[in-house]
Amino acid sequence: MKKLTLLILACASALSLFGQDSTPEMLKKKQFFDKPDLFEAQSIFADRKANEELVKEYEKSPKSYAANQLFPIAVCYTTLGDLDSAEKLLKEYIKAEPKSIRALRMLGGIYFASRKADDAKGNEQKVANAIECYKKMLELGDKAAANQLASVYIMQQTPDKISEVLPQLKELAKTNMESLVLGFIYALRDGKSDDALIKELLSGVDARKILTTASRESLQTVLRLYIAKRDIWPDNALVLPGRAAAFAEAWPLALDIYKKALKSDPKNTLAMRGLSLVYYRTGDIQAAVDYIKQAIAAGDKAAASDGVEIFLLTGDKSIWETFKDTFKEIPVSMVVRVGMIQYAEARDSADVFFAACEGEGSQAIFDERRLDKLVFDGLEKFKSDARAKAVRERWTKAGGSKESVAKIEAQIAAAKNQNAEPAKPAATQNATPDPKPAQDDIGASLDKALKK
């Protein structure tokens, strides 16, 4: 079996309890250390120096910290790569807070991450300890721990044990791609092929939700299973292999799958948006635009964001005119908004710039200090526009200033200077190393069944 591939999973966005900020300054607020929910933001642990300082403070006087204050310090140790110290603190923390799912998940991941190639007996114990952590999480009501347990069983080449968590996997598989793939592996374990279970898993899929959880590896698995067993895929799940084929740039296959999905459900807007992508990538821009218009007409206004992306990629202003009104009504990602600002400044398009700075989700543009120069340059370029005043006020209120722009300009200048000292690497994100089957492990399980 190939060595475990670890994925670093960033924690969720920061909470606003107790006036919490989401910067490394939180690591100086010892009075909050017994409230781990306040330390969910990855940005709190993004500064390596701040993490090192907290560790030093702890090591000067470890007895001055109560057991239930050790969680943020354990995270710092993890980001710095000192898993032994992190493990020790987490064990102490769990003694004080035995129902902490977050700490149990982190400890289970650390057991896996700290295995050693030359210590088979020790590794066996670490695996057993990790399994114990994940089972405790299940007992505490964390259904998602079924994914960790199933992953462990696959890597231990004991996929039959997945039956212990199959009910939870079935439920999770409706909206979580990792759970769906783990269910597939169980259905195909040891050369078996439980088509009834595969159909059951696929029939319950919420395609729109599950695609938001897809990874490169899970899409590869979905595509392999579809190619091997096309006849068992229900119509409601066809957009999954459609997306997988598009991701693999297998455009003829993606086109075929999406057309089947749309034929079975003429109102399937995911299929329409998928076809738009396929046609764009194969050179038929008008067909791509037409399918986006159909998706919007069918009620999926969010498809307008796809249209704006095509506009940014092609530079065709008529496409912007087609979707700009609907665009104002939907939440839009920061990536699209940044692309719009870049386009606007390069093409002297005030309308596109101000559209990027307005509407649901636009506040993120003003809150992100790394974008200050980009926003500032646009405001300067379009300062005579009547809309500029309101946008400048939002940017300034969020913390934007000429000083913050100057900092970015200095960083750019330093980067251009070949003699500039390399920046100290950032710390690993506030992270939990989770056990994940390597793609080779998954492939081996599939091959046994699919080659029959």
| More confident: 416 or 36 | 36
Instruction: Determine the pLDDT at residue 291.
Output: 98
Tokens coding 439? 């793609």
Distance CA 373, CA 408 (A): 7
Note whether 244 and 251 are within 8 A (CB).
no
Q: For residue range 217-270, what is the model confidence (pLDDT) as tens digits?
A: 999 999 999 999 999 999 999 999 999 999 999 999 999 999 999 999 999 999
What's the DSSP call for residue 374?
H
| Mean pLDDT lowest among 8-12, 102-106, 107-111 | 8-12
**Angle in degrees, CA 364, 369, 372, rounded to 5:** 95
Note whether 370 and 46 are within 8 A (CB).
no
Note whether 244 and 213 are within 8 A (CB).
no
What's the DSSP call for residue 66?
-
**Angle in degrees, CA 3, 427, 368, rounded to 5:** 120
pLDDT above 70 coverage of the chain, percent: 88
Band (113; pLDDT cuts 50, 70, 90): confident
Q: Is the pLDDT of residue 19 over 80?
A: no
What's the DSSP call for residue 25?
G
Tokens coding 161? 């044990």
Among candidate residues 146, 144, 151, the one with its CA nearest the CA of residue 127: 151
Note whether 293 and 275 are within 8 A (CB).
no
Q: Is the pLDDT of residue 22 over 50?
A: yes
Q: For residue range 38-64, what is the model confidence (pLDDT) as tens digits?
A: 998 888 998 999 999 999 999 999 999
Instruction: Determine the pLDDT at residue 426.
Output: 53
Look up the pTM and report it.
0.81
Strand partners, 5: 436
Instruction: Determine the pLDDT at residue 293.
Output: 98
CA 232 from chain center: how many Å?
29
Instruction: Determine the pLDDT at residue 343.
Output: 97
Q: Is the pLDDT of residue 15 over 50?
A: no
Give mean pLDDT, residues 71-75.
97
From first CA to last CA, the distance across the chain in angstroms is 22
What the chain holds in terms of domains, given with CATH numbers, is 1-142 (1.25.40.10), 331-408 (no CATH)
Instruction: Determine the pLDDT at residue 444.
Output: 52
Q: For residue range 126-154, what is the model confidence (pLDDT) as tens digits?
A: 999 999 999 999 999 999 999 999 999 99
Q: For residue range 384-420, what is the model confidence (pLDDT) as tens digits?
A: 999 999 999 999 999 999 998 998 888 888 777 755 4
Mean pLDDT of the chain: 88
Give mean pLDDT, residues 292-321.
96
CA 41 from chain center: how many Å?
14
Among candidate residues 27, 26, 9, the one with its CA nearest the CA of residue 17: 26
343 CB neighbour count, 10 Å cutoff: 19
3-state secondary structure 237-249: HCHHHHHHHHHCC
| Mean pLDDT lowest among 42-46, 166-170, 425-429 | 425-429
Q: Is the pLDDT of residue 277 over 50?
A: yes
Note whether 352 and 384 are within 8 A (CB).
no
Distance CA 427, CA 131 (A): 28
Quickly list H helices, 16-100: 48-60, 71-79, 83-96
Q: Is the pLDDT of residue 190 over 50?
A: yes
pLDDT above 90 coverage of the chain, percent: 74
**Angle in degrees, CA 344, 346, 347, rounded to 5:** 65
Instruction: Determine the pLDDT at residue 94.
Output: 97
> 361 in helix, strand or coil?
coil
Note whether 334 and 361 are within 8 A (CB).
yes
Question: HSE-up of 350 (CA within 13 Å, CB side)?
Answer: 11
Give mean pLDDT, residues 279-284.
97
Instruction: Determine the pLDDT at residue 16.
Output: 35
Band (378; pLDDT cuts 50, 70, 90): very high
- Residue 3, sorted as left (phi over 0), alpha (psi -120 to 50) or beta, turns out to be beta
